[in-house]
């Protein structure tokens, strides 16, 4: 039987997971602060890690909430700050689990199309002008999941202007921005827009290890307090041991080296997948990313990535259907994650995909 190759999971490759580093830093956390990391604590997270992140973001410690993964912080935000029926704008396509949560919480999802340089801010402006102003815009600014695109500087500014003019909040979700292969990093929205309007969230999942389940959110003090209360009601306190280990990773000066290591591994995989794009049918549209985990593609008519998903799985290659990342439509689109597999597997998987797609032409 053919061993399946999965381009479906947005997870780091095994080589990116530094068990030695995590083991050393966990031991250090236990030695330095054993009683506290093994105890219950506050809902806002392990204080030394909160303090480190507060310094990094130039905010007060109370503005940082460290959660069991950043998706959990997103859920707390939906539950503690918004109500069913609230209009929340997001990119189309967007991160499938965030979209799922928006729907599970009965939000009024306002889909804003994505272009090669990020969300189409003109569409959002037209929606606002027509009286459909969201309460929150959720945007993944760098190497977007799933489209791989980055919001341009002009669009970041235009989004900020809209937020001020129409009085809405923005949540910038940026777990991939530190994994840049080439090109210049752009300023985050909190640098460009009144920081009282912009919440920021990120995660250690992609830059250290998802199994630690540690993400964080930066928010205005009042909102952060609500998130910390939601956390304490849900799980009392997050895993202080995992957060203590990550505090040692950060304060011990190991984070930058780890990010450089993961970036090199991801660049190699991105390059392998770009080389494999030649197997896809003529007319397939895609914009290879400058960082992150994903390549997004659209098949030419009449091919449907939705309809071919099962045939691809039978041929031993898995991808995410684009239709899972939008409220409606998207049948010709699909997401390929190069992050979790080796360059050799990528070469084989892309060949398999090419065969499946061309067999039906």
Nearer to ligand PLP by Cβ, of 210 and 244: the residue is 210
Nearest of 123, 138, 197, 201 to residue 164 by alpha carbon: 197
Give the nearest distance from C-beta 66 to ligand PLP in angstroms. 11
Six token digits for residue 316? 């031993």
Site for ligand PLP in 222-251 (CB under 6 A): none
Nearer to ligand PLP by Cβ, of 74 and 357: the residue is 74
**Using the rule CB under 6 A, is 177 a contact of ligand PLP?**
no
| Of positions 91, 127, 172, 173, contacts ligand PLP by CB under 6 A | 173
Nearer to ligand PLP by Cβ, of 166 and 235: the residue is 235
| Of positions 205, 284, 323, 339, contacts ligand PLP by CB under 6 A | 205
Cβ-based neighbours of 93, under 8 Å, separated by 6 or more? 114, 146, 147, 296, 322, 325, 326, 330, 333, 335
Site for ligand PLP in 91-150 (CB under 6 A): 95, 140, 145
Question: Considering Cα of 193, then 10, then 290, then 305, what sign does the dihedral take?
Answer: negative
**Using the rule CB under 6 A, is 69 a contact of ligand PLP?**
yes
**Using the rule CB under 6 A, is 70 a contact of ligand PLP?**
yes
Cβ atoms within 10 A of the Cβ of 79, count?
Answer: 16
182-195 residues labelled b (16+ CB within 10 A) or e (exposed): eeeebebbbebbeb
Cβ atoms within 10 A of the Cβ of 81, count?
Answer: 18
Question: Can you say whether residue 303 is alpha, beta or left, with left for phi > 0 and alpha for psi between -120 and 50 degrees?
Answer: beta
Nearer to ligand PLP by Cβ, of 70 and 248: the residue is 70
**Using the rule CB under 6 A, is 45 a contact of ligand PLP?**
no
Nearest of 177, 78, 111, 119 to residue 323 by alpha carbon: 111
d(CA 354, CA 339): 19
Nearer to ligand PLP by Cβ, of 99 and 280: the residue is 99
* Binding residues with ligand PLP: total (CB under 6 A): 13
**Using the rule CB under 6 A, is 200 a contact of ligand PLP?**
no
**Using the rule CB under 6 A, is 172 a contact of ligand PLP?**
no
**Using the rule CB under 6 A, is 10 a contact of ligand PLP?**
yes
């Amino acid at each position: 039987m053919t061993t399946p190759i999965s381009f479906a999971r947005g997870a780091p490759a095994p080589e990116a997971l530094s068990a030695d580093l995590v083991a050393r830093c966990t031991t250090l956390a236990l030695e330095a602060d054993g009683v506290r990391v093994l105890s219950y604590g506050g809902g806002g997270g392990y204080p030394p890690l909160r303090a480190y992140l507060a310094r990094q973001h130039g905010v007060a410690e109370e503005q940082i909430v460290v959660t069991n993964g950043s998706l959990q912080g997103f859920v707390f935000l939906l539950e503690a700050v918004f109500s069913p029926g609230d209009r929340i704008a997001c990119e189309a396509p967007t991160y499938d689990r965030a979209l799922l949560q928006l729907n599970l919480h009965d939000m009024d999802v306002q889909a804003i199309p994505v272009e090669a340089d990020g969300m189409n801010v003109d569409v959002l402006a037209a929606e606002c002008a027509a009286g459909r102003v969201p309460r929150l815009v959720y945007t993944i600014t760098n190497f977007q999941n799933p489209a791989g695109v980055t919001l341009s500087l002009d669009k970041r500014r235009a989004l900020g202007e809209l937020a001020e003019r129409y009085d809405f909040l923005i949540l910038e979700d940026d777990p991939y921005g530190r994994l840049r292969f080439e090109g210049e990093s752009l300023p985050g929205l909190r640098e460009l827009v009144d920081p009282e309007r912009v919440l920021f969230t990120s995660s250690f999942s992609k830059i250290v290890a998802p199994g630690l389940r540690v993400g964080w959110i930066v928010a205005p003090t009042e909102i952060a307090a609500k998130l910390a209360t939601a956390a304490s009601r849900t799980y009392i306190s997050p895993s202080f041991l995992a957060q203590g280990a990550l505090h040692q990773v950060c304060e011990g000066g190991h984070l930058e080296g780890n990010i450089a290591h993961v970036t090199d591994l991801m660049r190699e995989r991105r390059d392998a997948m770009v080389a494999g794009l030649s197997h896809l049918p003529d007319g397939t549209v895609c914009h290879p990313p400058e960082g992150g985990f994903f390549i997004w593609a659209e098949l030419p008519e009449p091919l449907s990535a939705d309809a071919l998903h099962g045939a691809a799985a039978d041929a031993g290659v898995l991808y995410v259907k684009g239709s899972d990342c939008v409220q409606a439509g998207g049948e010709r689109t699909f997401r390929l994650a190069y992050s979790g597999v080796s360059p050799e597997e990528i070469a084989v998987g892309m060949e398999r995909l090419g065969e499946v797609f061309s067999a039906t032409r």
